[in-house]
Structure formats: C-alpha cells, structure tokens
Amino acid sequence: MPPRKRPPANSRFQVRKPADPGVHLEPFLHYLEAECGMAVNTVSAYRSDIVQFLDWYRMQKPVPLSEVDLAFLSGYLQHLNRRKLAATTVSRHLVTLKLFFRYLVLEGVLAESVADLLNSPKLWKYLPKVLSPEKVNQLLAAPCRQDRYPLRDRAILAMMYATGCRVTEIVTLPLNSVKLTEGYARCVGKGNKERMVSLNPVAVAAVEAYLRHERPVLTRRNTTEQALFLNRGGKQLSRVMVWNIVKKNAARVGCSKEVSPHTLRHSFATHMMAGGAEIRALQELLGHANIRTTQIYTHVDHSRLKAVHQMYHPRG
C-alpha cells in the first residue's frame, strides 16, 4: 500500500460509520489511481471486484462496516467458491478486498482491517503456454492480402514478439516513442513505469512497411492521433481488436484456441531464456516489479537445463 499511515490510537480523528459502504467506492478508486499510480485497466478490475462485493454485502443482513468480522468475510469467500471461480480469481478478489479495507483504515472509517486475517487460497504453479520459434515464424507470416490491413497486423504481431510487451502497452505505444533507426521503443507499463525495449530487424522491417503503405491511409480521417497502431477510423486500436488479430492469424497456422496476445509475451520470455538471457535482464525487459514473476520462465525452459547438464556433468 502507499505511504500514508494509519491514524494513531490517541488521535482525535473519529471513526465514521456511514450507512452504505458504497460511498467509499469512488474515493477508493481515485486513491488507487492518483496516489498508488495504478493503471486504468487495473483500477477498472478493482472496481468490478468491489462492486461484486458490495452487491453481495447488501443482500446479507445489514451490518455496519465496523461490525464486519472474519466470519462475515469468510462467507463472501464461500460465495465466490460456490460460483466455481478459479483459485486465481478468488485470490484476486481477496487482494482487492484487503486493499479496500486497508484504505478504510487509512481514512479512519475503520479502526482495523479484519480482511487481513483472511488466508489466500493455495495456488498451483502453472507453466505458461508458449509457441515454438517455428510456429511464431508461421504466425508472423500469416496476415495476407485478404485482410483489410495485413501490414498493420503483421507489424503488431512482430512488435509483440520482438518486445514481449503487454497488449495494452502495444495499443498505447505512441508513434514518436518508436525509434526504428536505433532499434528500440519506449513503452509505458503497469504503474505508469516507462521502460525501453529492443526491436529486432523483423519488427523494424514490418513497422517500416506499415508506416510507409498503410498508416498514411488510416490517418486520412484523423490526422491528430499519436498512437502507432490505428483502426480504420484513424483512432487508437483497441485491446479487443489486437486480441482478434492474434486469434484470427493463430487459427490460420493451426495454433491452439488458447493462444492469445499474452502467448506471444510468454514465448518471447521463454525464447530469451533459452538463448541465455540473464533473469534480471529479462525482468527489466518484461517490466516485472517482482523477480518472482519472472522466475516462472526458469521452469519452462527444460531444454536449456538439459543441455547444461549434458555439457558439465561428468556422466552427462
């Protein structure tokens, strides 16, 4: 949580007890965005989680926030489990709930956060699905003449694989942040943190072709848009549209239906590890705040570990 401290026990600040906790929703979201620096999409996800909690709260026997106890909140977790949500989804709801109650403590609405006593569900470690380098090459070549803007679609796919950027980072990438001659781009990730990512020759060539032949056509209706990738109206491409582009071209080359824009990010990271990239460098390239998030890729690259074992073990 951000730096503000809980009021001391002897503070003259009095705990407030409003009738409906919903009055704290908008201030809480503003707090996340303004003071915590969270991205718009993250704040939107927190809004959805809190709205679901408030809807359930109002359906229960009316209880003042100050009287909410562990049993009451445990009932909400049971409600989520009855909906047969994945453990990761329940865990996310719990994180949101804890942040909300900690905020109420910081604001003096509650004396303490009972939500902190809740235990997160145990999560199985899962290995992300990745594409082989050969399948990635097929995917990058999949956009064809029957598409409305094949050069744009190819440039998007090439940029995502070359940089490992999240889909939001790709659609919000400004044109003036891409330096093709120097071979890098500056993107803004989670928490409005800026980082520099490298562009390989394939991505540079794909973006150059798009800028030369298709983007001028797209900007005829909107000459002021600064985003690199545009829709047919000349506006910034949406995340859903990028998702559709990836799905359509993945189906063409026989990929699983589970392939998504994030699959290219996973593939980028896995192939980087296979090529010998240091985990700290990979963390910076991916924009991970915690290296534990990056460490998942050390479990994916079994081929590299096997090669190291064969090279250095006396009986390898």
Helix (H, G, I), strand (E, B) or coil at 197: strand
Instruction: Write the secondary structure of 142-161 as one string of H (helix), E (strand) and C (coil).
Output: CCCCCCCCHHHHHHHHHHHH
- Catalytic residue from among 24, 93, 102, 288: 288
User: CB-based contacts of 270: which residues, under 8 Å, 6+ apart?
Assistant: 128, 130, 297, 300, 301
Question: Which tokens in the block code for residue 262?
Answer: 């994030």
**pLDDT score, position 304:** 57
- Catalytic residue from among 79, 92, 186, 262: 262
The reply to whether 265 belongs to the active site is: yes
- Catalytic residue from among 152, 154, 265, 266: 265
**Could you give the strand order of the β-sheet that contains 194-198, starting from the edge strand earlier in sequence?**
178-179, 184-188, 194-198
**Which has the closest alpha carbon to 79: 71, 11, 299, 233?**
71
DSSP 231-300: -TTSSBPPHHHHHHHHHHHHHHTT--TT--HHHHHHHHHHHHHHTT--HHHHHHHHT-SSHHHHTHHHHH
The reply to whether 61 belongs to the active site is: no
Find the mean pLDDT for residues 119-147.
Answer: 84
Helix (H, G, I), strand (E, B) or coil at 95: helix
237 by Cβ neighbours in 10 Å (0-12 / 13-18 / 19+) ranks as: buried
The reply to whether 79 belongs to the active site is: no
pLDDT at position 301 over 70: no
Q: Which of 64-78, 123-137, 215-229 has the lowest mean pLDDT?
A: 123-137
- Catalytic residue from among 92, 129, 186, 190: 190
Dump pLDDT digits (tens) for 25-81. 999 999 988 888 787 888 899 999 999 999 999 888 777 888 888 989 999 999 998
The reply to whether 166 belongs to the active site is: yes
